[in-house]
Amino acid sequence: MADTDLITKLQPRFPDVWAFHGHNMAYNISVMTNTPEERWAWVNSGISLVRDKGIRYNPNDLILCKELAFWFGHKIDGVSDDAHLYYKRQFAREWQYLLGVPPFDMKERVAWIKLIADAPDSLAALYVKSPGTKEFVEDLEKRLLPLPERFHFAPDKRFLMLFGEWAAQQTSPYAQALGLKASTGDVSSLVDVFKATFGDDTRKDQASAVVAFLRKRVLLDAYNMDPQLMYEFTRDTGPLDWRHPSAHALFWARRGSQFGEHRITNDLDIFKSINNDRLEIQAMQALARSGLISYDPFSGDNVTRLNDPRWIKVLDEYFEVLYDKHYQVRGAGADTFINLHENFMKQAVRELYRLGDIEGSQAILDKLDKLYGTGGVIPHEGYKKPIKEFVQDVLYGEFEMQPEVVRSDVYATLERGFREGLLLDNPQVLEDAIRYARDLTTYFRDSRYNDFVTRFGDGRMRDVLGLLEESIPAVLSKILLDTSQPMLDRLVIYRKAPDDVRALIYDQVKPILEREWATGRLAKTGMSFEQAFPEPPGLEDVRRAQAEIAKRRAADQQKSDGDGAERK
């Protein structure tokens, strides 16, 4: 580490030096270590070296941005590393503490990140822009003064992570089930301070303004990420969730194009631009397959990653942009994107079909036929099949080597089952969906391609899927929190859903639904949230069971940490 620090200081304007040492730490050194914690430390160090330091000295270098995009997309979001599940948990936890949970609705998500982008750059500017924030911060500082210095207020990552952990606890079913309490008197006092300031309902506006300011400063100072670009990229592409590694892959690839592409003046270097663009569209593909994140930092569970069909249109349109952009590049540069587009859109046909969007699915199939089938360079009839037959061929022809495909099919099938089966009062649809999902999950889990267990005890591919029992509540939770759907429809679905599934997700969805209910029209009818969404039977049993599971996992983790320390 010292050698790396010295060499990069001697050659700060030499991008290849930063790229070499970042890659060396993230890939070569990390795999030589013995525990997931050690691996993550080296991977994180390699990324931080380039992102936080290297790009500050070389802000317009395309290659450094491309390298970062690759590391996020391959090392963290990929499955080739034995410790990839650990990486995903740590990454999601860090960014949930930093930025919180983003809203599902696209317009709300754009507004959410814009709030951070528009935040003042300094405390002085904050005090001028947002009345009452000066008194809020002074009160906060006064309350924190008796505590150790590490808890004092400052616009830095240390303090924001403290606040973020406290904020995450307020909505965590596992934290509430475990009855998590401060381990020391100082931490207990810190929690009390946060409750009295950030938790004060009479000062919500001031607290929100201070948090937005803190997030902006930390993004700029600790992560070298411009919130204005984060806002623009969200607005111009799709619903980016910064807890997902591929959101960062997209950010850095797009940033590289925006600030570094003009420096490519030699035709022999055009491949650098093409490779960078390829990483960006691959990030969109990854977000379409797993861009919906659900994660409780205190559960010890893997990150729940659902497919997000909103990215289908984004990728389809961006393919046309890239094709036109590189059409004149020698060596058929534009054609290098065709395979990705064709394969992705084939999966989109399957996904939309499983969601029940037959019209949208057929429209994509017709487009595929026009571009690559009967209208292709080498015409064929492959896209002229009946859509049901086509979907079956695509699924069973590809899923054995692509766990993401199976998972997205399971989730899409379950989502359609909940929506149509419960909303349209057709329980057979839901029963068929659950049966299909169970059969597909069982088949894939028993596949010979997915029996590999890593040196850390994880099923490298098998655990990516998650148990079917986890998939069902995850999908119901997603549907209930989907603000693009009428509240009345979601209310009907909740009321008709099986009691045991409702009990599993009630504590998770209640805080978010309750806030939405309070500002919605249905609340004006006089019906309370508790009347609309009553606690399901068996909720206390589920809470006790979750508490026991959480205790066992905490004990297992403590034992694992102890074993890891001994190995070190």
Write down the pLDDT at residue 444: 66
Q: Which two tokens stand for residue 19?
A: 């790229």
Which residue bears the tokens 């249109």?
313
Q: Which residues pair with 292 in a beta bridge?
A: 306
Q: Which two tokens stand for residue 137?
A: 């911060």
Determine the Cα–Cα distance for residues 319 and 287; give it in Å rounded to an integer.
Answer: 15
Reported as a single tens digit per residue, the pLDDT across 70-124 is 999 999 999 889 999 999 999 999 999 999 999 989 999 999 999 999 999 999 9
Write down the pLDDT at residue 448: 52
Q: Which residues pair with 293 in a beta bridge?
A: 305
DSSP 3-state percent helix, strand, coil across the chain (nearest 5) = 75, 0, 25
Contacts of range 226-233, beta carbons closer than 8 Å, 24 or more positions apart: 227/113, 227/116, 227/117, 227/119, 228/117, 229/255, 229/258, 230/113, 230/116, 230/117, 231/110, 231/113, 231/114, 231/116, 231/117
Confidence check: pLDDT of 197 > 90: yes
Cβ–Cβ under 8 Å, residues 512 and 479: no
Reported as a single tens digit per residue, the pLDDT across 527-548 is 899 999 999 999 999 988 888 8
Cβ–Cβ under 8 Å, residues 333 and 326: yes
**319 vs 440, residue with greater confidence:** 319
Confidence check: pLDDT of 553 > 80: no
Mean pLDDT for 360-388 is: 94
Confidence check: pLDDT of 153 > 70: yes
Least confident of 134-138, 155-159, 520-524: 520-524
Cβ–Cβ under 8 Å, residues 481 and 104: yes
Write down the pLDDT at residue 403: 60
Per-residue confidence at 8, pLDDT binned at 50, 70, 90? Answer: confident
Contacts of range 148-153, beta carbons closer than 8 Å, 24 or more positions apart: 148/186, 151/186, 151/190
Mean pLDDT for 231-246 is: 98
Radius of gyration over every alpha carbon of the chain, rounded to an integer in angstroms: 25
Cβ–Cβ under 8 Å, residues 197 and 139: yes
CA atoms within 13 A on the CB side of 238: 25
| Residues contacting 475, CB < 8 A, separation 6+ | 306, 411, 414, 415, 418
Determine the Cα–Cα distance for residues 375 and 368; give it in Å rounded to an integer.
Answer: 9
> What is the DSSP code (8-state) at residue 202?
G
Percentage, residues of the chain above pLDDT 90: 58
Determine the Cα–Cα distance for residues 482 and 256; give it in Å rounded to an integer.
Answer: 33
Cβ–Cβ under 8 Å, residues 298 and 174: yes
* Total residues belonging to the chain: 568
Cβ–Cβ under 8 Å, residues 441 and 465: yes
